[in-house]
Structure 1
Amino acid sequence: MSAGTAAARAETPAARPAPPADSAVEPVVELTGIEIGFPGVKALDGVSLRLLPGEVHALMGENGAGKSTLIKALTGVYAIDAGSLKVDGQEHRFSGPAESQAAGISTVYQEVNLCTNLTVAENMLLGREPRRLGRIHTRAMNRRAAEVLARLGLDVDPTSTLGSHPIAVQQLVAIARAVDVDAKVLVLDEPTSSLDADEVRVLFDVVRSLRDQGVAVLFVSHFLDQVFELSDRMTVLRNGRFVAEHRTAEITQLELVQEMIGRELEVLERLDRQPADPAAPAAEPVLKVVGLGRSGELEATDLALHEGEVVGVAGLLGSGRTELARLLVGAD
Structure 2
Amino acid sequence: MAVPAPVLTMSGIGKQFPGVKALDDVDLRLLPGEVHALMGENGAGKSTLIKVLTGVHPADAGTIELAGRTVAFGSPLEAQQAGISTVYQEVNLCPNLSVAENILLGREPRRLGRIDWRRMRARAHQLLARLDVRLDVSAPLSVYSLAVQQMVAIARAVDIDARVLILDEPTSSLDADEVQQLFRVMRRLKEEGIAILFVSHFLDQIYEISDRMTILRNGRLVGEYPTSELSQVQLVAKMIGQELAALERLHGEAKTFDRPLVEARGLGRSGAIEPFSLTIHEGEVVGLAGLLGSGRTEVARL
Pick the TM interval, shorter chain: over 0.9
How far apart are residue 307 of structure 1 and its match?
Answer: 2.1
Identity among equivalent positions (%) equals: 64
2:212 corresponds to 1:216:
no
**For the residues of structure 1 that align with 2:83 and 2:245, how far apart are their CA atoms?**
43
Q: Which moved more, 1:171-180 or 1:259-268?
A: 259-268
RMSD of the alignment, in Å? 1.2
Question: Which consecutive unaligned segments of at least 5 residues does structure 1 have?
Answer: 1-21, 328-332
**Match of residue 258 from structure 1:** 237
**4+ runs deviating over 4 angstroms:** none
How far apart are residue 23 of structure 1 and its match?
Answer: 4.8
**For the residues of structure 2 that align with 1:174 and 1:261, how far apart are their CA atoms?**
33
2:147 corresponds to 1:171:
no
Aligned residue type for 1:112: V
**Match of residue 91 from structure 2:** 112
**Match of residue 122 from structure 1:** 101
Q: Is the 8 A contact 2:233 2:244 kept in 1?
A: no
Q: How many residues align?
A: 302
**Match of residue 46 from structure 2:** 67
1:10-63 deviation per Cα after TM superposition (whole angstroms, max 9, x unaligned) = xxxxxxxxxxxx655111110000000001110000000000000000000000
Pairs within 5 Å for 1:47-62: 47-62=26-41
Aligned residue type for 2:220: R
Aligned residue type for 1:132: R
How far apart are residue 318 of structure 1 and its match?
Answer: 1.2
Q: Which moved more, 1:253-262 or 1:294-303?
A: 294-303
**Match of residue 281 from structure 1:** 257
Pairs within 5 Å for 1:100-249: 100-249=79-228
Aligned residue type for 2:301: R
**Match of residue 297 from structure 2:** 322
1:205-225 deviation per Cα after TM superposition (whole angstroms, max 9, x unaligned) = 000000000000000000000
1:79-105 deviation per Cα after TM superposition (whole angstroms, max 9, x unaligned) = 011100000010011111111111100
Aligned residue type for 2:278: L
Aligned residue type for 1:305: I
For residue 55 of structure 2, give the secondary structure of its aligned residue in structure 1. coil
Relative to the length of structure 1, the TM-score reads 0.89
Relative to the length of structure 2, the TM-score reads 0.97
1:140-194 deviation per Cα after TM superposition (whole angstroms, max 9, x unaligned) = 1000000011111001221111100011100111111100111000000000000
Q: Is the 8 A contact 2:158 2:165 kept in 1?
A: yes
How far apart are residue 310 of structure 1 and its match?
Answer: 1.6
How far apart are residue 309 of structure 1 and its match?
Answer: 2.0
**For the residues of structure 1 that align with 2:144 and 2:206, how far apart are their CA atoms?**
26
2:271 corresponds to 1:302:
no
**Match of residue 311 from structure 1:** 286
Q: Which moved more, 1:119-128 or 1:256-265?
A: 256-265
**For the residues of structure 1 that align with 2:18 and 2:234, how far apart are their CA atoms?**
34
**For the residues of structure 1 that align with 2:16 and 2:82, how far apart are their CA atoms?**
24
1:229-256 deviation per Cα after TM superposition (whole angstroms, max 9, x unaligned) = 0001100000000001011111111111
Q: Is the 8 A contact 2:97 2:141 kept in 1?
A: yes
**For the residues of structure 2 that align with 1:118 and 1:267, how far apart are their CA atoms?**
54
**For the residues of structure 2 that align with 1:281 and 1:228, how far apart are their CA atoms?**
38
Question: Which consecutive unaligned segments of at least 5 residues does structure 2 have?
Answer: none
**For the residues of structure 2 that align with 1:266 and 1:250, how far apart are their CA atoms?**
20
